Structure 1
């Protein structure tokens, strides 16, 4: 039987930041001297992902630039981040309009973030019997993985380091299941969002606690029920002592609340996000910003794969075997659902 249709959802902020830093050395400008290298890179991410995944629909989400419901909840949320460079701010501001002009379904939810667009879009796909792939460089999206939802994570090193992670592969990658991931992240904390975790709890210790108790709530029940020795057996004396502190519970509760992504945002009907895009419309929108992606647009616009020539400036890359890299010792075979895509 044919597989369910596929929705590809991009975290516009995350990927545009990646593209900005990857292309900053080139500093590509349009004819008016405006920076466009991150815009070009963001569209390139969409085009190359579409070339491999062949999605039936595409949505791109962005953080609301004016207001933040999470910052209203916790003033320290992302408060430590320095001001963005002007050339990055300009491209972030221009990205939703550029994508919309190209015919891409683009969402900037008032007071919420691209993560919430990913979560709500995945929920929309699930309700309609679709599969979804969420493309981002943030690990937060791992909490959204289930039997119909996978995460295409773009990491340091560019396309060669991108991995597609599904429900079968996440335990090998992080040591926890998708339903445990939010507790895992809350225990560990998220320095990038200025959310401290529990002292003494890195990834390995958090995974051990969840392996023993299933959830943080289960560990708290053991602690409150006089079974503190079970916490010690799971994570050792020092970490168990930190976990028992009142401020640890407060930190985890705050982190879980702020890390919870909304699944009920108003997102368009999937028919409104359908591919293919109109090639003439896409090229006109891109050329107005001095961007020309050439044949790499084929998967977004209903074309056929171009013949690869050695001299091509925009070739379609080949699949390679996936391996763990960066911080994990040794080389391992790929786990199910994890492949090097770029």
Structure 2
């Protein structure tokens, strides 16, 4: 049996700390509960997936090139709670102190770190798994890259999404996902899409035409194929110059950077030094990682699983036209 190529695990620090912050409940002795929850997520992922190296990405806290491009980008979001701001600010230093390769790119976001790390891994002959609770990373899936999607219910409800799973979930291929997302829009980022283009309509258009640019070309030539795919009202909306501008803006802002500097993967390899990890985690209070800590520090040999866990997403054959249990929590 051939030896599998090395595996890089890339964590979306902002996404996962937001999730653990809102899932936890502070008390007088738990002023860093989101950081501890993130550490548990990371340890469990390493324990189950057995990666050879790990990289963690965070949003730049000072400046956003996307907001400079479009002032409305994420502008509708309320201010973060003070405790969340404090824990997000502390996270990169804590993880670096523990020995984890941590990247905070100037002006860009954790999504861009995921994209750049996946590209770096691919060039280096590695596979990668991107761990996040956001769906933006679906655009990065390919034969070398999967997304470990953290859903409601935490790590135990996570699913590993590969190209076949994405097609079953969304009805499009990974190379079409950026166009799919741009048509639908993203309310969480304050990026409206085209009216009438939800998940099903966007997938129908792309299945018929392949890309948004091909749909534009068809509309310029009369729009017969677009009308056959999505109907005359939707075709007319997509042909509207304002809709085209919105889709083009969304594609520009949703496209992730793949060329940010990522440290050499050999420098991000596991295991970590047990004493260093324990000393760093002690700074956020009592934290027991149990057997998961063995995977981070190689304090005890844990074999790589023979079956993927978390499971690869597949829709059961007899339920092809029905949502799977918990599927709505993906969105």
1:30-41 matches, within 5 Å, as: 30=29, 35-41=31-37
The answer on whether the counterparts of 2:57 and 2:113 sit within 8 Å (CA) in structure 1 is: yes
Say which is worse superposed, 248-257 or 283-292, in terms of deviation. 283-292
1:229: how far off? Answer: 2.5
Q: Is residue 294 of structure 1 aligned with residue 289 of structure 2?
A: yes
**What secondary structure does 2:71 align onto?**
coil
Contact 1:323-1:331 within 8 A present in 2 as well: no
Q: 1:237 aligns with which of 232, 238, 251?
A: 232
Which residue in 1 is equivalent to 2:18?
17
* Aligned match of 1:312: none
Equivalent residue, structure 2, for 1:257: 252
1:222 is paired with a residue whose SS is helix
**Deviation for aligned residue 1:174:** 0.7
**What per-residue deviation string (whole Å, max 9, x for no partner) do you get for residues 48-77 of structure 1?**
111111000000000000000000110100
Q: Aligned partners of 2:247 and 2:33: how far apart in 1?
A: 39
| Correspondence list, 1:28-67, <5 A | 30=29, 35-67=31-63
Residue pair 1:170, 1:178 contacting (<8 A) in 2 also: yes
Structure 2 residues without counterparts, runs of 5 or longer: 303-308
Partner of 1:121: 117
Alignment partners' CA distance in 2, 1:76 and 1:291: 41
- SS at 2:131's partner residue? strand
For structure 1, the residue ranges without an aligned partner over 5 or more in a row are 307-317, 335-342
Counterpart CA distance in 1 for 2:150 and 2:98 is: 23
TM-score in terms of structure 2 length? 0.90
| Alignment coverage as a number of residue pairs | 314
CA displacement at 1:140 relative to structure 2: 0.6
Tell me, yes or no, if structure 1 residue 329 matches structure 2 residue 322.
Answer: yes
Whole-Å separation in 1 of the counterparts to 2:278 and 2:53: 19
Aligned pairs for 1:209-220 within 5 A: 209-220=205-216
Task: Decide whether the 8 Å contact of 1:115 with 1:141 is kept in 2.
Answer: yes
Q: Are the counterparts in 1 of residues 159 and 311 from structure 2 also a CA contact under 8 Å?
A: no
- Tell me if 1:303 matches 2:299: yes
Partner of 2:107: 111
Moved over 4 A (4+): 318-325
Query: CA separation in 1, counterparts of 2:204 and 2:278?
Result: 51
Q: Alpha carbon RMSD of aligned pairs, Å?
A: 2.0
2:305 alignment counterpart: none
How far off is 1:288 after superposition? Answer: 1.7
SS for the counterpart of 1:294 is coil
Q: Is the 1:28–1:37 Cα contact (8 Å) retained in structure 2?
A: no
Q: Deviations over 1:88-147 (max 9, x none)?
A: 111111111111111110011000000000001011101110000000011010100111
CA gap 1:294/1:156 in 2 versus in 1, 3 angstroms: closer
Counterpart of 1:203 (choices 178, 190, 199) is: 199
Deviation at 1:37, TM superposition (A): 0.7
1:303 to partner: Cα distance: 2.9
Report the TM-score, using the length of structure 1 for normalisation: 0.88
Tell me how far apart the structure 2 counterparts of residues 217 and 37 of structure 1 sit (CA, whole Å): 46
Counterpart of 2:306 in structure 1 is: none
Aligned partner (choices 146, 149, 162) of residue 166 of structure 1: 162
The CA deviation at 1:298 is: 1.4
In 2, are the aligned partners of 1:183 and 1:216 still within 8 Å (CA)?
yes
- In structure 2, what is the Cα distance between the partners aligned to 1:122 and 1:217? 26
Q: Is the 8 A contact 2:10 2:57 kept in 1?
A: yes
TM-fit CA distance, 1:304:
2.9
* 1:268 aligned partner: 263
Q: Report the alpha carbon displacement of residue 289 of structure 1 after superposing the two structures with TM.
A: 1.6
